[in-house]
Structure 1
Amino acid sequence: MTEENLEEVKKIAINEEFKTLTIVSDPLHMKRAMAIAHHLDLKVNSSPTQTSVYKTLKTKGPFLIKETFYYIGYKLFTLY
């Protein structure tokens, strides 16, 4: 979903002539979001949220594992 969202943002940014964008997201999601944005040639800054729905190790752990899996998959996918 992140890639599709950023592809749509890119269309808007081009149409509105935005030079730089700021991605606001959960800190555990930020690395993948930034990697996708850079791959799409978007000039972006990151602004990780100060709060998260993932507050405990029980909720952070699975989300971090999922994000790591998707990040590695994305990096491998973009190699080819």
Structure 2
Amino acid sequence: MSALMLAIASTALSIYAYGNSDRNIKAEAAIVLGAAVWGEEPSPVFRERINHAINLYKNGQVNTIIFTGGVGETNEPAEAIVGKRYAIARQVKPADILIETTSHTTHQNLKNALSVASTDKLTKFLIVSDPLHLKRAVLMARDLGMDAYPSPTPTTRYRSVRAQMEFLMRETYFYFVYLVFKI
């Protein structure tokens, strides 16, 4: 039992550390992992991911932004479309934005983004998400054969200790599930 607890604790610690280290890498594209939309607007979590990708773009760390995410609620637009509109309104050139609008999971976000990117022969990526989500997301991307690196949002909406602990517990669970079942 103590070996299991040690494994869980060390994995949780590695997830926390992984998402909180800045690597300042340049890539061809930023892949923004989808998150909820509220009507026509990005949710606060998604907005912070989009803002981070826009900053990477404006600072010259990426030349292209790939927005991912399908329709959550039937009367809402796809997450990727909301992300694209938001970025265009903040002076990102439409020609520098790619989207995929059918995914519903992190793995689907990445797999579909890779398909979209291959059309433009893009091969090096920054994965944009909340810090605690990145270890699993980058592992998935690399398992898909992507040259991928984490780019954590510096303005994550998960600020409180309670919110971070809940997210960390969730991510630790899903990290183990992914390691074992590759799902």
SS of residue matched to 1:44 = strand
Deviation of 1:50 after TM superposition, in Å, equals: 0.6
1:22 is the counterpart of 2:144? no
Matched, 1:36 2:140: yes
Structure 2's unaligned 5+ residue stretches are 1-104
The answer to which structure has the higher helix fraction is 1
TM-score, reference length from structure 2 = 0.42
Deviation string 1:4-55 (CA, Å, 9 cap, x unpaired) is 1001001011111002111111110010100100110011121111111111
Q: Distance in 2 between matches of 1:45 and 1:34?
A: 6
Return the TM-score normalized by structure 1.
0.92
Higher RCO (C-alpha under 8 Å, 6+ residues apart): 1
Unmatched runs of 5 consecutive residues or more in structure 1: none
Amino acid at match of 1:9: A
Aligned residue in 2 for 1:9? 113
Matched, 1:69 2:164: no
Q: Provide the identity percentage.
A: 36
- Give the secondary-structure state (helix, strand or coil) at the position aligned to 2:126: strand
Q: Please state how far the C-alpha of 1:76 moved relative to its aligned partner.
A: 0.5
Runs of 4+ aligned structure 1 residues displaced above 6 Å come to none
Higher Cα Rg, which structure? 2
How many pairs were matched up? 78
Distance in 2 (CA, whole Å) between partners of 1:22 and 1:50 is 14
RMSD: 0.8
Find 1:59's aligned residue among 163, 167, 171.
163
